[in-house]
């Protein structure tokens, strides 16, 4: 593949932009760390959270390292017989994982330092406290958009048209981290939350965030795990997956129209470059003015970064993509811009369904007056409806791509359009991650204020925390939508890969448009239909596992806290310290153990389906996951968010206020919603993407060995491995049951 000198320079410019982004992040970090850490007591509490975060990250990364090595070997093997590709893919995998891991590590170690500084600043100034929280989030945001781009651009410059083969490894590295940080982290964060609440507020009758409760630190660490490291890893994966998918699709033109292929491959990298710049601007302009609510400047930041992005798309598309006669730049511009619009619509929809002041949350709060059951049914019904609304929006985005390229265009164009929509949607990722990560900083600040009794900061941190809940809920919708668009793009590139495999040119260059057009995944073929059904079942299975995992892990925490109350003299009286680090460790270990079964499923089931049902059945399977995954993820996230805010609405005085029966009902709704919105829902984002990436990775192999005895045998072996994993996780739950029974007997005896 030949680049023009303009393209060469443009790619270097992208790299420069990425490097600038990294430096901007480091600058923000330095600024945050330069702030005052407050009193001795505040530091001591923050220190415990920092230690907890370190313990969490340490154990998490040690486990990841183990899987990293195994999977790197597997990815190396998947790249054979081309040695160069095999080695590069394995290395890129580790690089991709490193990028995502570093983002999470730097982000989380900063947020757990920013929290106490935010509290300290809140004693005197809301504006400055807000600034610290948001800028701390900005560091994670900038790392998310820059590290992946830097890696991808370098890989591309080295490998050119073979780059997608290598970048698949890179994207899968992001997936591995996302599995750990988002799914494992999701189990961790909610188990800590539910465990702390059950044993503290309900059992021991002590307030939330009471320092005597050993699970409180774990809970505070958990906030950072879910909304900083988890969200960053999720969007990092979406970004890489969409990029690779768009490049694979563009490659389909390589044989017939190499110039068009070059422009189409490079264009997504330029779009990401724009994203870095607009993220810097978007984060930079967030500043509280006067008496306004902190949500205002955040919304300004999002809005301006969106507007500037669109202007930049226009210029870059017209003057770069317009350079070749064969490419209609207007199509590329509209496709990318539609992504920005999609993000805005999804953001608005999510707010409508999850924030007070709109009918859904109001009706949930109102129905709490007639009890828990009506609260839950209303929330569930609203959640179901919100899934439909989000899905229709995504359908509209796909249909828009059809309209841009014309109904008679070949599928590659339309799918490339969809992936550009995804790239456009993720352009504001820097700001989105920043506003999501802002959440746990504010939440932690609230916790520290409570624990250290910093009365004068209370009002300000309460304002910040409320806004944090808003941003956390609203950004979830974008994470899901981006996952779905990424998965649709991956599904498109899966077809491209299969077409290449079928035409006997499993390398890269010769995937002709023709071969792709000949390809068909007919729903009327029974095995494809069966694949579709099985794929549809996966999100249900996965959610069932993660919801249960939260319960089991929370139970282990409860047991440990009970033990500490029993065995540490003076703890209840406040004269002794709880062993918080131990709870963090138990929670991390348990969450990781709980990750084994769903993790195995996510990685191995697509391979098993490919082995048994062939590439056609696997195609149906991947489509099934997308359909059901989207619906279920939005249902879980939005109903959870709506229950949360319905409770807060009542706490703010509506329908009887705090302590009323309506409030009690709403609290239950919130507790049910917690694992929905923070564990099971976000986990589905990862499942949708991971399974599609795995499908893409094994596509050439499934095509190559079709009909032979190898695949069925491999399928059996993998099925046995999955079976053992699932049985192990069932045995685990047997243990929990025994402990449960033992505790019960003990209680009955006493």
Residues of this chain, 391-410, that bind its own copies according to CB under 8 A: 391-392, 394-395, 398-399, 401-402, 407
**CA 60-64-67 angle, 5° bins:** 150
Distance, in Å, from the CA atom of 165 to the CA atom of 174, rounded to the nearest integer, reads 15
Q: Which is nearer to its own copies, 588 or 630 (CB)?
A: 630
Candidates 168-176, 221-229, 465-473, 521-529; binding stretch for its own copies (CB under 8 A): 521-529
**Nearest Cα to Cα of residue 511 among 497, 532, 522, 530:** 497
Regarding 727 and contact with its own copies (CB under 8 A), the answer is: no
Residue 536: CB minimum distance to its own copies, A: 4
Regarding 502 and contact with its own copies (CB under 8 A), the answer is: no
Q: Which is nearer to its own copies, 203 or 509 (CB)?
A: 203
Q: Name residues contacting its own copies, limited to 296-355 (CB under 8 A).
A: none
Query: Residue-wise over 145-173: b if at least 16 C-beta within 10 A, else e?
Result: bbbbbbbbbbbbbebebbbbbbbbbbbbb
Residue 417 and residue 331 in contact, taking contact as beta carbons nearer than 8 Å: yes
Residue 668: CB minimum distance to its own copies, A: 5
Q: Name residues contacting its own copies, limited to 185-224 (CB under 8 A).
A: 194, 198, 202
161: which 2 tokens? Answer: 């048209």
Tell me the C-alpha to C-alpha distance, in Å, between residue 59 and each of 185, 578, 584, 593: 12, 21, 10, 12
Residue 433 and residue 236 in contact, taking contact as beta carbons nearer than 8 Å: no
Candidates 162-170, 222-230, 361-369, 457-465; binding stretch for its own copies (CB under 8 A): 361-369
Tell me the C-alpha to C-alpha distance, in Å, between residue 290 and each of 296, 457, 617: 11, 18, 59
Q: Which is nearer to its own copies, 60 or 386 (CB)?
A: 386
Q: Name residues contacting its own copies, limited to 403-442 (CB under 8 A).
A: 407, 411, 414-415, 418
What is the helix (H) or strand (E) element at residue 36, kind and residue range? none
Distance, in Å, from the CA atom of 747 to the CA atom of 750, rounded to the nearest integer, reads 5
Instruction: Give the position of tokens 């068009």.
Output: 260
Regarding 623 and contact with its own copies (CB under 8 A), the answer is: yes
Q: Name residues contacting its own copies, limited to 368-387 (CB under 8 A).
A: 369-374, 376-378, 380-382, 384-385, 387
- Binder among 541, 568, 589, 726 for its own copies (CB under 8 A): 541
Q: Which is nearer to its own copies, 13 or 202 (CB)?
A: 202
Candidates 23-31, 37-45, 518-526, 566-574; binding stretch for its own copies (CB under 8 A): 518-526
Q: Name residues contacting its own copies, limited to 649-688 (CB under 8 A).
A: 668, 671-672, 675
Regarding 630 and contact with its own copies (CB under 8 A), the answer is: yes
Distance, in Å, from the CA atom of 288 to the CA atom of 228, rounded to the nearest integer, reads 22
- CA 687, 693, 697, 698: dihedral to nearest 10 degrees? 40
Residues touching its own copies, count (CB under 8 A): 81
Residue 63: CB minimum distance to its own copies, A: 25
Q: Name residues contacting its own copies, limited to 36-55 (CB under 8 A).
A: none
Residue 48 and residue 179 in contact, taking contact as beta carbons nearer than 8 Å: no
Kindly write down the DSSP assignment for every residue of 532-549, as one continuous string.
Answer: HHHHHHHHHHHHHHHHHH
φ, ψ dihedrals at 655, nearest 5°:
50, 45
- Binder among 13, 77, 102, 388 for its own copies (CB under 8 A): 388
Q: Which is nearer to its own copies, 247 or 528 (CB)?
A: 528
**Nearest Cα to Cα of residue 479 among 248, 192, 182:** 182
Residue 288: CB minimum distance to its own copies, A: 37
Residue 197: CB minimum distance to its own copies, A: 10
Residue 424: CB minimum distance to its own copies, A: 18
**Nearest Cα to Cα of residue 495 among 515, 467, 524:** 515
- Give the helix ranges, DSSP H, for 123-184: 126-159, 163-178
Distance, in Å, from the CA atom of 159 to the CA atom of 294, rounded to the nearest integer, reads 45
Q: Name residues contacting its own copies, limited to 439-498 (CB under 8 A).
A: 488, 492, 495
Residue 465 and residue 442 in contact, taking contact as beta carbons nearer than 8 Å: yes
What is the helix (H) or strand (E) element at residue 529, kind and residue range? helix 526-567
Please, what sign has the CA dihedral across residues 622, 624, 627, 632?
negative
Q: Which is nearer to its own copies, 568 or 668 (CB)?
A: 668
Q: Which is nearer to its own copies, 336 or 543 (CB)?
A: 543
- Binder among 521, 586, 654, 666 for its own copies (CB under 8 A): 521
Q: Which is nearer to its own copies, 230 or 619 (CB)?
A: 619
Q: Name residues contacting its own copies, limited to 543-602 (CB under 8 A).
A: 543-545, 547-548, 550-551
Residue 671: CB minimum distance to its own copies, A: 4
Q: Which is nearer to its own copies, 222 or 492 (CB)?
A: 492
- Binder among 523, 720, 728, 739 for its own copies (CB under 8 A): 523
Q: Which is nearer to its own copies, 306 or 605 (CB)?
A: 605
Regarding 529 and contact with its own copies (CB under 8 A), the answer is: yes
Residue 279: CB minimum distance to its own copies, A: 30
φ, ψ dihedrals at 707, nearest 5°:
90, -25
Helix (H, G, I), strand (E, B) or coil at 254: coil
- Binder among 294, 440, 536, 606 for its own copies (CB under 8 A): 536
Distance, in Å, from the CA atom of 95 to the CA atom of 544, rounded to the nearest integer, reads 32
């Amino acid at each position: 593949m030949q680049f023009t000198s303009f393209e060469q320079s443009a790619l270097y410019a992208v790299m420069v932009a990425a490097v600038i982004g990294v430096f901007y992040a480091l600058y923000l970090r330095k600024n945050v760390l330069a702030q005052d850490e407050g009193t001795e007591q505040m530091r001591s509490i923050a220190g415990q959270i920092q230690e907890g975060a370190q313990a969490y990250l340490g154990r998490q990364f040690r486990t990841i390292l183990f899987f990293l090595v195994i999977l790197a070997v597997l990815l190396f093997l998947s790249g054979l017989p081309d040695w160069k590709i095999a080695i590069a893919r394995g290395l890129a995998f580790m690089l991709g994982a490193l990028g995502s891991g570093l983002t999470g590590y730097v982000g989380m170690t900063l947020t757990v330092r920013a929290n106490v500084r935010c509290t300290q600043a809140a004693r005197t100034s809301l504006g400055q406290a807000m600034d610290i929280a948001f800028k701390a989030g900005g560091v994670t945001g900038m790392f998310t958009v820059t590290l992946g781009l830097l890696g991808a651009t370098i890989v591309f410059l080295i490998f050119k048209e073979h780059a997608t083969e290598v970048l698949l490894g890179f994207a899968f590295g992001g997936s591995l981290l996302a599995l750990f940080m988002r799914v494992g982290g999701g189990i961790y964060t909610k188990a800590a939350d539910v465990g702390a609440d059950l044993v503290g507020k309900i059992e021991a009758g002590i307030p939330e965030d009471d320092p005597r409760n050993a699970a409180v630190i774990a809970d505070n660490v958990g906030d950072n795990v879910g909304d900083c490291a988890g969200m960053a890893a999720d969007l990092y994966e979406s970004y890489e997956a969409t990029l690779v998918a768009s490049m694979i699709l563009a490659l389909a033109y390589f044989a017939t129209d190499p110039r068009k292929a070059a422009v189409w491959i490079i264009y997504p990298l330029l779009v990401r470059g724009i994203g870095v710049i607009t993220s810097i601007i978007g984060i930079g302009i967030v500043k509280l003015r006067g008496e306004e609510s902190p949500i205002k400047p955040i919304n300004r930041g999002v809005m301006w970064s969106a507007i500037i992005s669109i202007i930049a798309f226009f210029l870059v598309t017209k003057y770069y993509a317009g350079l070749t006669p064969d490419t209609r730049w207007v199509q590329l511009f509209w496709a990318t811009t539609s992504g920005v619009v999609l993000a805005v619509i999804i953001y608005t929809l999510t707010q409508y369904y999850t924030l007070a002041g709109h009918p859904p949350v109001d009706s949930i709060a109102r129905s709490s007056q007639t009890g828990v059951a009506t609260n839950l049914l209303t929330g569930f019904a609203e959640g179901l409806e919100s899934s439909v609304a989000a899905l229709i929006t995504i359908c509209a985005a796909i249909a828009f791509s059809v309209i841009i390229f014309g109904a008679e265009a070949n599928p590659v164009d339309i799918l490339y359009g969809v992936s550009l929509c995804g790239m456009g949607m993720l352009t504001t990722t820097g700001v989105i991650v920043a506003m999501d990560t802002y959440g746990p900083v504010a939440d932690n600040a609230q916790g520290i204020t409570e624990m250290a009794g910093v009365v004068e900061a209370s009002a300000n941190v309460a304002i910040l925390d409320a806004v944090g809940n808003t941003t956390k809920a609203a950004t979830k919708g974008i994470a899901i939508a981006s996952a779905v668009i990424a998965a649709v793009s991956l599904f498109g590139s899966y077809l491209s890969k299969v077409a290449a495999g079928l035409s006997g040119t499993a390398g890269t260059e010769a995937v002709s448009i023709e071969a792709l057009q000949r390809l068909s995944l007919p729903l009327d073929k029974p095995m494809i239909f069966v694949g579709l059904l099985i794929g549809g079942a996966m999100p249900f299975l996965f959610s069932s596992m993660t919801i249960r995992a939260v319960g089991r892990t929370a139970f282990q925490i409860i047991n440990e806290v009970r033990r500490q109350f029993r065995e540490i003299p003076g703890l209840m009286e406040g004269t002794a310290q709880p062993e918080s680090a131990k709870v963090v460790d138990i929670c991390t270990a348990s969450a990781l153990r709980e990750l084994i079964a769903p993790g195995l499923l996510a990685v191995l089931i697509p391979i098993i389906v490919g082995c048994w049902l062939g590439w056609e059945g696997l195609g149906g399977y991947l489509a099934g996951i997308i359909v059901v995954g989207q619906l279920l993820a939005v249902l879980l996230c939005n109903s959870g968010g709506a229950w949360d805010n319905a409770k807060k609405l009542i706490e703010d005085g509506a329908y009887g206020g705090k302590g009323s029966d309506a409030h009690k009902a709403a609290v239950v709704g919130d507790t049910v919603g917690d694992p929905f919105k923070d564990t099971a829902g976000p986990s589905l984002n990862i499942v949708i993407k991971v399974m599609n990436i795995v499908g893409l990775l094994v596509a050439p192999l499934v095509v190559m060995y079709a009909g032979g005895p190898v695949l069925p045998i491999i399928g059996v072996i993998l099925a046995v491995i999955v079976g053992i994993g699932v049985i192990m996780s069932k045995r685990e739950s047997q243990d929990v049951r025994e402990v449960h029974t033992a505790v019960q007997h003990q209680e009955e005896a006493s």
